[in-house]
Amino acid sequence: MNFDCSAAKEHIDIYEAARRLGVSVMTLRRCIANRELGCIRIGSGRGRVIISETQLADYITRRTIPAQTAQAA
């Protein structure tokens, strides 16, 4: 049987997501618990947590504060 691994490449584990965001894994787990960031849980209990690249990008977009533009006088 052949499996398409391309879908797996579009997901990262919680440790990589935390590294990219510059936050601790515990902070990221809180974001997931508060439903601020979506994830896929694999296994029982805490199990393994993976996050899609799209979910991470959406989270960053939602958390981005736009810069104010200076008004011309």
Question: For the chain, what are the domain ranges?
Answer: 9-62
What's the pLDDT score for residue 45? 79
Is pTM, for the whole model, over 0.85? no
The CATH class of the 9-62 domain is: mainly alpha
Q: Is the pLDDT of residue 54 over 90?
A: yes
Would you call 56 helix, strand, or coil by DSSP?
helix
The tokens for 60 are 């960053």
pLDDT for 51 beyond 60: yes
Q: Which residue has the tokens 């947590």?
A: 49
Give the integer Cα–Cα distance in Å for 53 and 8. 10
* Gap between the Cα atoms of 21 and 66, Å rounded: 18
3: its two tokens: 């499996």
